[in-house]
Chain A
């Protein structure tokens, strides 16, 4: 009996080791895919990027020159959508966690927010075109594009705000009330400053999301090619992700345009990398600060 049992357990052990090895192998291969994508684009794009590429406009049917207008356009879109989505989203998050009656109301709002975040970005594009471009008459413009992108990242802002505020213990609220502060004073002086670090991290991540989205701006704002920078919010603008899409798919001169595509992809990836890094660093910094306090 004893040898059999011993045998049995070693077999069990061996198959478990084998299985766990397989799992770790699969996990590392997923990380490998990420590194492969990043590495591929970095290696191919690094030679293209120089000051000229970043600071000049495309030339000769986008076979030469840089991507300056696209960078500026993406920057404008980030600012525009942030101006709309950040205040509204943060207020919505505050309402959900601090003011709304717990239970049905919060559940309903949360369900709607989840639904909104599940809607495909191309549907946002259609909606933006129908509402902002056609009905409100903004035309293809930075304004219409920013509003569409703002709506897209709204659920993300709301959710991170709510999570951040939820993490603050009730004792702080009670302490503030006990000192005679009103609800608004409590929110403004105690809750918001305490939740701010986590909220800011969420806002930074939503900037990353906005800067990479293509489908919502296809029909609301993005221009194929503009030799000059936009003058007002009612102008069209170029944007990095759309520019990458255009030169990667509808190029006439593939050999000349492929390097530009790699360069554009790298700039886009760098923005995302920096945004993610910044969010992580901030998160750690604030965590440490809270601990030492």
Chain B
């Protein structure tokens, strides 16, 4: 009776042992499942289509999300730029219809609109029309650009994140990923000297009593919720930066970096302090016996010995900074542009997901793009974790 019972318990324990692996696999599966539709969803807004004059020979491959945006922003104004004839591009949106036809011609119930559009597209060679599919006449004489999907290139190399842009929403990763890396990098630059100084002080210099007081305080610093850091940043750091640098708004990359630096400090301190403490006593004593001063011992013996531990502390700190959501969302101003200076607002990947997912209709391209951002974030942090794993493995061997 005892034996089968023990077996069952053992089985249950084994199952729960593998739960973290199962969760990671589930995360990958579900993120991909929600995100993958992105590259199948149309580049043009749902329910609309792009129509050209039938003589227009520009190939369909040209009409991906980025070019459509450039054309409709009048940044590309000639078809020759897209490999077509030397002809001025004429933009046409539904609102422009009244410039060409009177209200009587359109009909009292707009019943003639499809015919009017048909005639218009047929008569102007350089036209590009952004019209609802509803208004495409059955005997349409122009050329319809259909089935243009968002490509991985649009996502990975897109320079703009503008989900509400018409006719073609822009889901470019570049501004978000540069924003994320930019903020995290500066956060580490700010945090590293302090983190190292504190860990050296706590491990080597401070009295045990002082260390015993400082250690729980550093733990407390790690325990403060990110939203409280964000709030503190919002009411103290942001106005401070605005005043010091005479900026129109204080929400900026700098504010984000400072808040993230404070948040990354506990990680850096605890991990590198552990590494420094792990340096064997015999090495220290040998160095001191050779006449080296305390500082020389730290600088020439202890720090090189704990180098891999300190580097894993740095990498972990970067990982923490990259994934941080709420604090960054509250202080960086969330402008989705490729940052050129630390004093400008910028936007990170986690902040974008947090800010926009609530408004994106489930299953739409925007929703899928946000999950794709989640996939990117997941793999960045996974790489970082594996790197740390590798570093610690080397340290042990």
Q: B19 — which chain A residues lie within 8 A by C-beta?
A: 88, 92, 154
Q: Decide if B330 is an interface residue (CB 8 Å cutoff).
A: yes
> Are A27's CB and B221's CB within 8 A?
no
Residues 110-154 of chain A, each 1 if its beta carbon lies under 8 Å from chain B, else 0 = 011111101111110111011100110000000000000001001
CB A187 to nearest CB in B, in angstroms, measures: 9
> Are A215's CB and B326's CB within 8 A?
yes
> Are A20's CB and B205's CB within 8 A?
yes
Q: Contacts A41-B228, A100-B17, A123-B27 given; indicate if A118 touches B381 (C-beta within 8 A).
A: yes
> Are B26's CB and A123's CB within 8 A?
no
Q: Decide if A189 is an interface residue (CB 8 Å cutoff).
A: no
Residue from B9, B23, B202, B382 having most chain A Cβ neighbours under 10 A = B23
Q: How many A-B residue pairs have CB under 8 A?
A: 246
Nearest residue (CB) in B for A108 is B21
Q: Decide if B358 is an interface residue (CB 8 Å cutoff).
A: yes
Given the complex of chains A and B, what is the CA–CA distance between A280 and B357 in angstroms?
39
Nearest residue (CB) in B for A85 is B19
> Are A33's CB and B223's CB within 8 A?
no
Q: Decide if B272 is an interface residue (CB 8 Å cutoff).
A: no
Given the complex of chains A and B, what is the CA–CA distance between A131 and B140 in angstroms?
44
> Are B214's CB and A115's CB within 8 A?
no
Q: Contacts A151-B23, A248-B330 given; indicate if A23 touches B293 (C-beta within 8 A).
A: no
Stretch at the interface among B59-67, B124-132, B191-199: B191-199
Q: Decide if B133 is an interface residue (CB 8 Å cutoff).
A: no
Q: Decide if A214 is an interface residue (CB 8 Å cutoff).
A: yes
CB B173 to nearest CB in A, in angstroms, measures: 16
Q: Decide if A285 is an interface residue (CB 8 Å cutoff).
A: no
> Are B227's CB and A244's CB within 8 A?
yes
Stretch at the interface among B50-58, B143-151, B164-172, B231-239: B231-239
> Are B378's CB and A123's CB within 8 A?
yes
Say which residue of A120, A219, A258, A272 sits within 8 Å of B323 (CB atoms).
Answer: A120
Stretch at the interface among A60-68, A191-199, A204-212, A227-235: A204-212
Q: Decide if B289 is an interface residue (CB 8 Å cutoff).
A: no
Given the complex of chains A and B, what is the CA–CA distance between A225 and B23 in angstroms?
31
> Are A214's CB and B234's CB within 8 A?
no
Residues of B1-52 whose CB lies within 8 A of A = 2, 5-6, 9-10, 12-14, 16-21, 23-24, 26-27, 30-31, 33-34
Given the complex of chains A and B, what is the CA–CA distance between A282 and B259 in angstroms?
31
CB B100 to nearest CB in A, in angstroms, measures: 43
Q: Contacts A29-B194, A215-B326 given; indicate if A92 touches B20 (C-beta within 8 A).
A: yes
Given the complex of chains A and B, what is the CA–CA distance between A125 and B354 in angstroms?
9
Say which residue of B31, B33, B295, B329 sits within 8 Å of A16 (CB atoms).
Answer: B295
Q: Contacts A126-B371, A214-B326 given; indicate if A112 touches B225 (C-beta within 8 A).
A: no
CB B213 to nearest CB in A, in angstroms, measures: 9
Q: Decide if A275 is an interface residue (CB 8 Å cutoff).
A: yes
Given the complex of chains A and B, what is the CA–CA distance between A276 and B17 in angstroms?
28
Given the complex of chains A and B, what is the CA–CA distance between A143 and B26 in angstroms?
18
> Are A121's CB and B323's CB within 8 A?
yes
> Are B27's CB and A272's CB within 8 A?
no
Consensus secondary structure, chain A interface = helix
Q: A276 — which chain B residues lie within 8 A by C-beta?
A: 216, 219-220, 223
Category for how many chain B residues contact A: 35 or more
Q: Contacts A182-B2, A209-B223, A215-B350 given; indicate if A112 touches B31 (C-beta within 8 A).
A: no
> Are B223's CB and A99's CB within 8 A?
no
Residues 163-179 of chain A, each 1 if its beta carbon lies under 8 Å from chain B, else 0 = 00000000000000000
> Are A120's CB and B201's CB within 8 A?
no
Q: Decide if A79 is an interface residue (CB 8 Å cutoff).
A: no
Q: Decide if A273 is an interface residue (CB 8 Å cutoff).
A: yes
Nearest residue (CB) in B for A91 is B16
CB A221 to nearest CB in B, in angstroms, measures: 13
Given the complex of chains A and B, what is the CA–CA distance between A48 and B300 in angstroms?
53
Q: Decide if A290 is an interface residue (CB 8 Å cutoff).
A: no
> Are A126's CB and B374's CB within 8 A?
yes
Given the complex of chains A and B, what is the CA–CA distance between A116 and B25 in angstroms?
10
Q: B13 — which chain A residues lie within 8 A by C-beta?
A: 91-92, 94-95, 99
Q: Decide if A24 is an interface residue (CB 8 Å cutoff).
A: yes
Q: Contacts A24-B206, A120-B323, A219-B358 given; indicate if A244 touches B198 (C-beta within 8 A).
A: no
Nearest residue (CB) in A for B324 is A120
Interface residues of B (CB under 8 A from A): 2, 5-6, 9-10, 12-14, 16-21, 23-24, 26-27, 30-31, 33-34, 193-194, 197-198, 200-202, 205-206, 214, 216-221, 223-232, 234-236, 262, 265, 269, 293-296, 316, 319, 322-326, 329-330, 350, 353-354, 357-358, 362, 370-371, 374, 377-378, 381-382, 384-386, 388-389
18 contacts between A and B (CB under 8 A): A20-B201, A24-B205, A27-B197, A33-B221, A111-B389, A115-B20, A118-B316, A122-B374, A126-B370, A126-B371, A127-B26, A182-B6, A205-B223, A214-B226, A214-B325, A218-B357, A242-B227, A273-B220
Interface residues of A (CB under 8 A from B): 12-13, 15-16, 19-20, 22-24, 26-27, 29-31, 33-34, 37, 40-41, 88-89, 91-92, 94-96, 99-100, 108-109, 111-116, 118-123, 125-127, 129-131, 134-135, 151, 154-155, 158, 182-184, 205, 208-209, 211-215, 218-219, 241-242, 244-245, 248-249, 258, 261, 265, 268-269, 272-273, 275-276, 280
